[in-house]
Amino acid sequence: MLHQYRGWRYVKENRSYFLYLIFDSDTCVYIGETSNIFWRVVKHKDKCSDDSVIYLQEYQDKEEVLRREKHYIRMLKPKFNSRYCQINQLELFQL
């Protein structure tokens, strides 16, 4: 699975942000955002099986990707996310 992202290992001046959703057996297990998708996927390898699917969406605006991350975590409630799922948590943005 990681071979798809290998070309992005050494991107230093990336001005893009990625929202990524990891699905395993049609269930969302994790949602996150990053500017370096290769290293972030490497870090989440333990959450992925051989059948996992990672969906990516690219954004140019950091605040927009953070708003989307928050929205999808609240909507899908992935089992490996705790950010934005708890009541009374410190919020980064108002939706």
Supply φ then ψ for residue 54, to 5 degrees: -115, 125
Which of 76, 5, 70 has its CA nearest to residue 32? 70
User: What pLDDT was estimated at residue 53?
Assistant: 87
User: What pLDDT was estimated at residue 35?
Assistant: 85
Rounded to whole angstroms, how far apart are CA atoms 32 and 18? Answer: 8
Quick: pLDDT tens for 12-23: 566 788 999 999
pTM of the model: 0.73
DSSP state of 1: -
CA dihedral 6, 33, 57, 7 (to 10 degrees): -10
User: What pLDDT was estimated at residue 92?
Assistant: 45
Mean pLDDT by 10 residues, the chain (95 residues): 55 76 90 84 76 88 93 90 62 43
